[in-house]
Structure formats: C-alpha cells, structure tokens
Structure 1
C-alpha cells in the first residue's frame, strides 16, 4: 500500500479524535479591499490544474520546498498520467489521496521512487514571511505554504548561511504518499481536508491548494478506518497550467505575503485567536480568472 502503516494507524486515530480538528473560521477584523499592487501572480509553471467530477482544484507548486517532487508532479501531469485516476482513499477531517493508476493504493508510476524532501534549507533570499516567533522558532509563509523554520540569526552560525525549515500540514497542503521507507514516494499524493501536525517532517510537502478546497472536502469519503472508498470520485484531467493552451489557462493571484495587507491580516488573526493561534488560521485571499473547468 503506497501509504505507510504508521500513517494508517494515524488515520484511525483521526476518526476517533476528529472533534478537535473541526475547522472554525477565526474571526477577523474588518479591513479595506486589497489593492492591485498587493497581489502576487502564480506562475503558470507552478500552477497545477486538477479537474475532477466534483469541480476544479488549483494547487500552487512550491519547488523551494521539494524540487524533486515538484518535477515529478509536472512530469506525470504533462504525460496525462493522472487523467481518470480516482481518489481511492479519503478520510473526513483528514485528507484525500490519489495518484494510483490501479485505484487500490498499491500502484505507482513507472519512474523510480523519490528521495525524501521532508525539510529544506532557507537563506536570506528565500521568499519567507514570518507571522509568529515562539521560542527558538519562526512560523510564517513561503508563498502559499505555511512553514516553520529556525530564526534568521542562526544563519550566521552555519557553513552555508542557511537554516532548517519545513512545511506544515494545514488545510489544503499537498503532500506525497509513501510506504514505510522514507525514500519511497512515487506518484501518489494527498490533499489535506483539515490540519494534522503529526505529519510534519514525515511526508514531503510540495504545494498547497489555492482554490477548490471546498471541492477537496466534497470528495466521497470512506466511513472505514482504512479510508478506502467504494465508488470513488476521480480526476478527469490534470495539467500544469503552462502546458495548457493560453485560452484554457486559469489565472491565479494570491495576496502577497510581503504586503502590508497580509501583515495586518495575520496580526488580526493572532489577536482574535489569542493563545489558540495557529499559522493554519491565516487564510490567504485568492483571485481566480480565466477558463472554466474542462
């Protein structure tokens, strides 16, 4: 099964303890509309367009976190590998998994397994925006992905002038499924329906849903602890936007995390949540234009 036995146990625990993971939209203070200069356009080569029988999901690929895994997703999408593949394992309050051409959890692509990219090295040029700084760590965003990292001050103490960092499993985050072996990810991936921090640094993160999280949450879920779905939903077409004809490309803009508006949004969320604040509480405004789903 292309998902570790350890995670299978985690899935069962999720069903038993899902109450804490129920998403509640944090209250936010009223704020003026975002101005044009505060939007960041997602590059077409970093936009994965997943059309499903339930609607369209747009995922921003983040090569800074996992260049090898992003390249694999681009390769498989470009070759039509994911077209018609089902969401074979879906657990409510947790995640939706796909990418197995057999639809059983046992299949994969013909390409070699990938080396794990659970963490990455961040330097001063990495486009990271902090939102909180608990003792000995910094929480923030790298593009649309929530990230935890060591403080910038540590850069002066390392040979490469970089620090340790990793993505966080918040709603919409895209992770790579694998077997028990760390370097066994291949073609199967999952999209988070809810936050689940116990996956952090255990499964490679390669992007995040920027539009269509409602579609991910609408996919047919299994009532069983193993999450295997009978009569599953499917992906009808999966392409990187840059591989689509210009007329068929959606255009996505995300609130720039370097903008004053984002800093105000993050601070409002921190103030509203208080001691219960999580970086997962910060929701990025998104604008989508262009062609409808195929």
Structure 2
C-alpha cells in the first residue's frame, strides 16, 4: 500500500488508464467529503460513467442513480443518491486544475453525489460550487477521459475506494 498523508481522506479512483489519487479537503468541506467516502464505501460509485466531459473545462460523473444504466445513459446527470442533498460549503479554495467540485442544480444546496474534476483553472466557478478535493496523482488519466455531452462511448469509474480501506 502506498504511503498517503491521510488515508482516511484519500480517494483511489480506478480509471481505464490507471489510478487517480484524490486528497479530500475535510477541513474545508466536511459534509461533501463524508458523502464521497460513504458512497465509495458502499460501492455506489463503482461503474458510474463520466456523462459530461468538456475539453478544456471539466469531467463530470457521480450520478449513482442513472450513471450505470447503459440502456438509459441519456438520463445520466439528472440524478443523485438516495441520501439527502448537501448544504453548500463554499470556500476561498479556487477551482484550479485537478480540483474536485460538487455538481449541483441552480439551488446552491442541491449537491448530492455528482462531482466534477477541473481540466484547467476555472476561477469563474469560485465561491459558487463547493471544492472538496484535489487530484494529487494520476491527472494524466483524467485528461484521457473521452469527451462529450454525453460521450458516445463514455468512460467510467471502474472503482472508487477510500485509501484507508484499500
């Protein structure tokens, strides 16, 4: 097992090209971090597609309700988990390349299970979407995710685990 600074707040996301290591910012957005760990530990993120991937912007995934149904992927991005929505945890942490942001509707308190990883610095999102993690290694695997809204053949999260459990 690799030596992670805080294994309880480190996510290991397995993609087709390799492992993406994400450091959760528990001190900044504790509710969002706890939700990600809960969904990872229950296996709900495993096999979920990246349903919205915009070159130069971000890759979005995490629709545990619709993101695994290959016959109905046009619904991906419209659902969440069966858990309640989360209150916004906006902070001064910028949406830099490799940061993890909570996807939501127009309502700031509507984040649930979906998230995105920024391909570039997207500072126009600052203080409007909760930042709760950052990629510490494997960003090249994120960069290789198939583009599209939705992609014709979407990539998926093969598995998502908390490093403390791996």
Q: If the length of structure 1 is used for normalisation, what is the TM-score?
A: 0.52
1:54 aligns to 2:26 (yes or no): no
In structure 1, distance between residues paired with 2:121 and 2:97: 5
In structure 2, distance between residues paired with 1:217 and 1:41: 23
In structure 2, distance between residues paired with 1:236 and 1:41: 21
**Aligned-residue offset at 1:218:** 0.5
Could you tell me which residue of structure 2 aligns to residue 94 of structure 1? Answer: 57
Structure ranking higher in helix proportion: 1
Could you tell me which residue of structure 1 aligns to residue 88 of structure 2? Answer: 116
Q: What aligned pairs does 1:1-294 form with structure 2 within 5 A after superposition?
A: 41-101=4-64, 102-103=66-67, 104-119=76-91, 166-222=92-148, 227-244=149-166
SS of 2:43's equivalent in the other structure is: coil
In structure 2, distance between residues paired with 1:55 and 1:88: 19
In structure 2, distance between residues paired with 1:240 and 1:48: 5
> Are the aligned partners of 1:88 and 1:228 in contact in 2 as well (CA < 8 Å)?
yes
SS of 1:167's equivalent in the other structure is: coil
Show structure 1 runs of 5+ residues with no match. Answer: 1-39, 120-165, 245-294
Q: Deviations over 1:53-108 (max 9, x none)?
A: 22211000111110010010010000001000001110110100000131311111
Q: If the length of structure 2 is used for normalisation, what is the TM-score?
A: 0.90
Task: Return the structure number with greater relative CO, CA threshold 8 A, min gap 6.
Answer: 2
**Aligned-residue offset at 1:180:** 0.4
**Aligned-residue offset at 1:228:** 2.1
Matched positions, count:
155
Q: Which runs of 4+ in 1 moved over 6 A?
A: none
> Are the aligned partners of 1:115 and 1:182 in contact in 2 as well (CA < 8 Å)?
yes
Please identify the structure whose Cα radius of gyration is greater: 1
In structure 2, distance between residues paired with 1:116 and 1:86: 24
RMSD after superposition: 1.2
Q: Deviations over 1:141-194 (max 9, x none)?
A: xxxxxxxxxxxxxxxxxxxxxxxxx11011100000000000000000000111
> Are the aligned partners of 1:77 and 1:238 in contact in 2 as well (CA < 8 Å)?
yes
